[in-house]
Amino acid sequence: MTERRLEKSYCDWFADVEVLDTTIGGLLRAQARDNGDAEALIEGLADGTSGRRWTYGELLADAERLAKGLATRFQPGERIAAWGPNIPEWVLLEHAAALAGLVLVTVNPAYQKRELDYVLRQSGSAGLFIVKEFRGNPMAEIAAGVAEGIDTLREVVDLQDEAALFTDPTGTLPDVGTNDAAQIQYTSGTTGFPKGVVLSHRNLTNNARLFIQVGEMGDKQVTLGLTPLFHTMGCSMGVLGALQSATAYCPLVAFDPNAALDLIEREKVTWTICVPTMAVAMVAAQKAKPRDLSSLKRIGMGGAMVAPELARNVEAVLGAQALVAYGQTESSPLITTGRPGDSVERITTTIGQPAAGCEVAIVDPASGEVVPVGTVGEIRSRSASTMLGYHENPEATAEAVTSDGWLCTGDLGTMDAEGYVRITGRVRDMIIRGGENLFPAEIENVLLEHPSVAECAVAGVPDPVLGEAVAAWVRVAEGESFDPDALRAHVRSEIAPQKCPAHWQQVTEWPLTGSGKIQKFKLVEGWSPAN
């Protein structure tokens, strides 16, 4: 592939792959038939030990029993919402809903009353499946209050109450089509108002299968579920990727770096997916208390750029290769991904090449024309994993997906002659300083090279003269001090002076979306000239 060279920022080198007309339930039945005795699901407990276990045969039996109970209470095509942490019952509900022809609405367990009410109303959910409490959030209490005012919501079920969950299994399971809706996932809200992304069985299963193949994850392995199940990184790439490789999926109920490392050692985990902040925490925990992590081969990372120091530490301390990825919920989620063997430079300066089955182009946002390689434009993708649309929002769907099937990501980036893509920022996050366009990701990448910077975020803030000025928020590395003068000198030595932040602020924690992305709009909202 590297012998070919691009002149325009359009790459279809990896798009010519077979798209399978699969369904989630059909895949589970096939694995139970072919690998019924292989381990399928392992409960990861908060203390780093493992609990209950299912083989593929047992997982199908429980999923069908649950699905038949659901089929007595819900009609095919109805929506049911899952509101809970990474527990086995969540995975069972994902499979059971798929078997029963229901649409699973995935809900962040950190949501409060207003957020839950919005998702349930917008999705028209007829059922809500919850846990009583998670990390201090009184979910049963919130759910009871919300349910009183929603006419479409017929029942609220405790996922951990077996009698309530597994009702009379006499329902008839329908024939489910590959293009039927399987899930509605709400956009994580880095810019505010969430939209319900409708994803089909075909979208989700093909995206996850190709991720496993390209990443060379192997068959009949063990993967640790660190990313939340309500996000595509968890319930699609994790659960459905494991399903299609006869791999055991071990969801950790809540991320803790020591518990994660203990489970990797205990269960001989071979791969996992996380956001960079999780990897940073695991590196520190492994340094403090070494475990035998010899089984671990790959750590897929998305949601933010990977710092050079982190990529080196993942290999040196955790013994695994970092595999970068980029995507959006609207693409199930993968759009680009790294390949095994990518250099540290590729891992830390790009988001990989187009994912298998995906065309990627960089276009002028105004004209829609493909730009030359190396030129900044909007990243767009086209694949069998592009969403069916936004739930009951045709106007937003038309804005996001062109008439010929291109997903407009809203992200700015460049493509080089070998098809590697770099993120330079969001179309809406672009900083316009004195009429000049500046791209936050470029500045963030420079900052991440400084040894005192563990994480950073750059955004534009109001300026009475320039219109916008560059501001940087920095979380310093352990044992380091916050020194804006030193950081300013570092940036000035690497890039043009107008790109150097005029305002600096230290942070100890970030406002994050449920999937671990920094909510820059909240940083900007909290900024004042005195900072």
How high is the pLDDT of residue 190?
A: 44
Shared domain check, 473 and 403: no
pLDDT tens by residue, the chain, 531 residues: 447 899 999 999 999 999 999 999 999 999 999 999 999 999 999 999 999 999 999 999 999 999 999 999 999 999 999 999 999 999 999 999 999 999 999 998 988 888 899 999 999 999 999 999 999 999 999 999 999 999 999 999 999 999 999 999 999 999 999 999 999 999 854 444 679 999 999 999 999 999 999 999 999 999 999 999 999 999 999 999 999 999 999 999 999 999 999 999 999 999 999 988 899 999 999 999 999 999 999 999 987 678 888 999 999 999 999 999 999 999 999 999 999 999 999 998 899 999 999 999 999 988 999 999 999 999 999 999 999 999 999 999 999 999 999 999 988 899 999 999 998 776 767 787 876 667 787 789 889 999 999 999 999 998 877 778 999 999 999 999 999 999 999 998 888 788 899 999 999 999 987 767 788 888 988 888 765
Shared domain check, 434 and 407: no
Domain assignment present for residue 3? The answer is no
- Integer CA distances (angstroms), 400 to 290, 314, 354, 407, in order: 46, 35, 19, 6
Shared domain check, 182 and 87: yes
Q: Which of 415, 447, 471 is the last residue of a domain?
A: 415
Domain assignment present for residue 420? The answer is no
Shared domain check, 507 and 398: no
Shared domain check, 321 and 223: yes
Domain assignment present for residue 530? The answer is no
- Both tokens of 191, joined, read 């810019």
How many of the other CB atoms lie within 10 Å of CB of 459?
Answer: 24
Domain assignment present for residue 5? The answer is no
Q: Which of 415, 437, 454 is the last residue of a domain?
A: 415
CATH code, domain with 145: 3.40.50.12780
Q: Report yes or no: 296 and 323 within 8 Å, Cβ to Cβ.
A: no
CATH code, domain with 462: 3.30.300.30
Q: H helices within 35-160, ranges in order?
A: 56-71, 88-99, 113-123, 139-147
Shared domain check, 495 and 409: no
3 state DSSP class of 113: helix
Shared domain check, 294 and 191: yes
Shared domain check, 380 and 452: no
The H or E element that residue 389 is part of is: strand 389-390
What total number of domains does the chain contain?
2
* Domain extent at residue 59: 10-415
List residues bridging with 468 in a β-sheet: 462
Strands 127-130 vs 353-354: parallel, antiparallel or unpaired: unpaired
Domain assignment present for residue 447? The answer is yes
Quote the CA–CA distance of 12 and 221 in Å, as a whole number: 31
Shared domain check, 117 and 217: yes
Q: The whole model's pTM is what?
A: 0.84
Strands 181-186 vs 103-107: parallel, antiparallel or unpaired: parallel
DSSP state letters, 310-348:
HHHHHHHTS--EEEEEEE-GGGSSEEEE--TT--HHHHH
Shared domain check, 357 and 274: yes
How high is the pLDDT of residue 192?
A: 47
- Integer CA distances (angstroms), 399 to 332, 354, 393, 406, in order: 18, 22, 10, 10
How high is the pLDDT of residue 522?
A: 87
Shared domain check, 404 and 515: no
3 state DSSP class of 362: strand
Shared domain check, 386 and 439: no
